[in-house]
Amino acid sequence: MGRRGYPPEFRRKVLDLLESGRSVAEVARDLQISDQSIYSWRRQDRIDRGLVAGLTSAEKAELIAARKRIADLETELKTTRRAMELVREVVPPKGGSKRSP
């Protein structure tokens, strides 16, 4: 399956099988999934439990959300700047130091 193709419940069951003593190769073969996927899930689980250094799942989700928000804000800023340019082209600047009556 593709990236993020397995639900969290399935991943948890796979990790439980490993904790019960089964090998990665055996579980991968029996469930017909990549052993590399299992190694990745096990590593992330160890990070989430604080056994290995790295970004936790929550931190990764927060980082992804922050990057998306930044991209959205940059798009909004670009749009606003473009709108200001268009307004400047259409609306002539007010003249000199004349005061309005």
pLDDT, tens only, 7-48: 999 999 999 999 999 999 999 999 999 999 999 999 999 999
Cα–Cα–Cα angle for 94, 95, 100, rounded to 5 degrees: 80
48's CB contacts (< 8 A; 6+ apart) are 56, 57, 58
Indicate the range of 2-11, 27-36, 49-58, 92-101 predicted with least confidence.
92-101
Report how far residue 41's alpha carbon sits from residue 47's, in angstroms, rounded to the nearest whole number. 10
pLDDT level of residue 94 (50, 70, 90 thresholds): confident
Burial (CB < 10 A; 0-12, 13-18, 19+), residue 41, is: buried
